[in-house]
Structure 1
């Protein structure tokens, strides 16, 4: 039996923000029509973390400056690094700095091709004594429906391969939706209850799909009220993810994912995008109107969001004024 699909109706960005605020008033999300004021304290903290990366991960600060370093777009901080490798290391530095500030941080994690370099850098940082995961707790955004954690293409297996098996993170402090649960809706409720108990995330990592999805929140199907939910994957998403599956294997049609409203409750968000193929959708998300036709544009509502790009992914952004 196919799992029920949540989010059949599209919601306006204002409703997503309002639902996030009601669920967690301490983390007020900016309304869509609010003035986009820069958070100076958060910007300074981000700058300090970026400086950390120079020593811990050998990022060239001169190169970062030439690439434009930090700017604003759509009320979101944008850090542009010269290469994908340096962008990944920059994001890893933000997570390492978060763990130093708050060892028992709740970390929101993502999967796919984009974060692999981030996790590689975090493993290196851990081995160098720069990142201690011993008291941290992690929550992943999503998991394929009907896929057990032992399956090599499950996101549980992905996280073990790229991070969990290589750092001092206890398995009972790592959380992903139970993709192979008998009742996906029950698994969603359980996962959401866990997140509401331990969360929200102190720092949430995001990627961006070619169609603008975050997590598996697809364009036009963004829930303002849901927590964790079952969603049908867009065909473009399934095609993009087919490269991770073996020949003859079908990419699952459904997934369990945190809603956009739940993602926006994170205290801080960092979205990483690299490569020219992401340039157009990055520009749409940061400089276009806020709307559920591009879920990543909802980051413009968040009070502490940073987008980290390489030069190619930043290629379609409007030239900085002044």
Structure 2
């Protein structure tokens, strides 16, 4: 595991984007696993700027997003699919048919999760998976206690996760109580993983994930077992790592 501690969020975003750009240049047909939430927004802005300046192309790339709220329509103002279109997809040359997302309106959840796993397998898996970390140590929407062997599945969100995401919805009551997410097994099959952590609220979770035991109580701790992980944390998030 490689740890990079940077001064602030701006540098975290720049550095994360540079890693993605380098991987895209190395492998134009890259399969990217993408995350949502506040942390990667700066990275996406950097990627858009790099594309506009001719530094990177996504025309041959394929993307899979980690998760989606359930039940929620893809055009809902706060769906993760809409988030990704606003932050990245609509501003770069990524082909629509190469974008893969879990359907938050699927009537048959098990079938939908199996479909997603089959699509991941069909492209040969993820080359570079971008992750954030939740305040309770979750990755994707794999909450504490999630078995490490699970593939894509439906989860019940914890109160802590719902409160952390309420700012995007306006009120806690409007936050969906469930989500569909790539499982920890799915994430760990990625060839490379890039974990981003920003802000003091992530400090305890990051320390537990990197320094504590590997335990399902801290889902991100499983990353200690992956052979190629880069962690980029700003000073606020890294303050408990000393």
Q: TM-score, normalised by structure 2?
A: 0.98
Give every structure 1 segment of 4 or more consecutive aligned residues whose post-TM-superposition deviation is greater than 4 Å.
Answer: none
Q: CA deviation at 1:247?
A: 4.4
Matches within 5 A, 1:20-59: none
Matches within 5 A, 1:115-194: 115-194=40-119
Contact 2:67 2:182 in 1 (8 A): yes
Counterparts of 2:89 and 2:195, CA distance in 1: 21
Residue matched to 2:120 = 195
Counterparts of 1:105 and 1:205, CA distance in 2: 13
Q: CA deviation at 1:249?
A: 5.2
Matches within 5 A, 1:211-290: 211-224=136-149, 226-247=150-171, 250-290=174-214
Cα deviation, 1:261-290, whole Å, max 9, x if unaligned, reads 110000000100011111111111100001
RMSD: 1.0
Q: CA deviation at 1:222?
A: 2.5
Counterparts of 2:77 and 2:98, CA distance in 1: 21
* Residue from 92, 104, 114 that aligns with 2:29: 104
Contact 1:145 1:184 in 2 (8 A): no
Counterparts of 2:241 and 2:223, CA distance in 1: 16
Secondary structure of the corresponding residue to residue 214 of structure 1: coil
Cα deviation, 1:230-281, whole Å, max 9, x if unaligned, reads 1111111011000000347511111110100110000000100011111111
Q: CA deviation at 1:187?
A: 1.0
Q: Which runs of 5+ in 1 are unaligned?
A: 1-75
Q: CA deviation at 1:128?
A: 0.8
Q: What is the aligned residue count?
A: 242
1:309 and 2:233 correspond:
yes
Q: CA deviation at 1:88?
A: 0.9
The structure whose Rg is larger is 1
